[in-house]
Structure 1
Amino acid sequence: MSDHTNCVFCGIVRGDIPAIRVHEDAATLAFMDIRPASPGHTLVIPKIHAPDLLAISEADLCAVTIVAQRIARAVHQALAPDGIRIMQTNGAAAGQTVFHYHVHIIPMQDGQRVGTHGHEHAQPEQIKALAARIAAALKS
């Protein structure tokens, strides 16, 4: 479990900051992005704080990767996108904005502009509905 006090994702892991959770296990947490690049945009993080790919342990990296694959499969089943973009950035120059290792799972439609985040917050009701569909697909 993470205890990094100034990290927003650590705050989500601790339950101090609300998030729409899709999946949780002992090592990882998957939750909906509040500024999604597309509907269904989900993040997967390790519960232990690691700022980036260079700092994460192999065990936590493997755990996140396995869950990212499961979430991507569930997104594919639940939302039927034309493609799924899996993205991970390291350092501000690469576009990283939260310095806690995380993987973006972004459903994509043909002709959609490729971006890391949307410009506006999505409606919570829409995010919750998409999260429920993805979580249901995880169970099937």
Structure 2
Amino acid sequence: MTHDPNCIFCKIIDGEIPSAKVYEDEDVFAFLDISQVTKGHTLIVPKTHVKNIYETKEDVASTLFARVPKVARAIEKAFNPIGMNVLSNTGEFAGQSVFHLHIHLIPRYDESDGFDAKWITHNDDYTNDERSAIAQTISENI
């Protein structure tokens, strides 16, 4: 497994920095986000150091994302939220502040729980032909 000695999440995984561990296996580590945007806000990280989703090999991503339902169900059982946001920020502009891939599980309790992930839709900004061209461009890069 790759490891970055300067990465705060690598240090948490190695036990050099304390954390509130929720789950651990040989490939994945989950712990409470120190910010606790909402009660139970949990981060799931691969033990292999990868900066973001762009640099992640498919096997690492598969293993990481396979643990998301297990931890999400545990949060649901423990705190009975009415919903949950599952997200990952890639790049500083998108809000990534720790450059070790991580998935946020943010339980939702009501409109005033401290988290707002709303966006403006742009359905009318693109014709069907433009959407097809966008999809084609992405497909050509896979």
Where does 1:93-132 land on structure 2 (aligned, <5 Å)? 93-112=93-112, 113-115=114-116
Which contiguous aligned blocks of 4+ residues in structure 1 show a shift greater than 4 angstroms? none
| RMSD (Å), alpha carbons | 1.4
Aligned length: 116
Q: How far did residue 24 of structure 1 move?
A: 0.4
Distance 1:115 1:96 in 2: 17
Three-state SS of the structure 2 residue aligned to 1:66 is helix
Q: What CA deviation, in whole Å up to 9, does each residue of 1:44-77 have, x standing for no partner? A: 0000000000011111111111111111111111
TM-score, length basis structure 2: 0.77
Distance 1:49 1:115 in 2: 29
Q: Relative contact order (C-alpha < 8 Å, sep 6+): which is higher? A: 1
Name the counterpart of 1:16. 16
Distance 2:46 2:7 in 1: 13
Q: What CA deviation, in whole Å up to 9, does each residue of 1:69-122 have, x standing for no partner? A: 111111111110010110101000000000000000011012134258xxxxxx
**% same residue:** 36
Distance 2:41 2:9 in 1: 16
Structure 1, unmatched stretches of 5+, are 117-140
TM-score, length basis structure 1: 0.78
Distance 2:11 2:52 in 1: 17
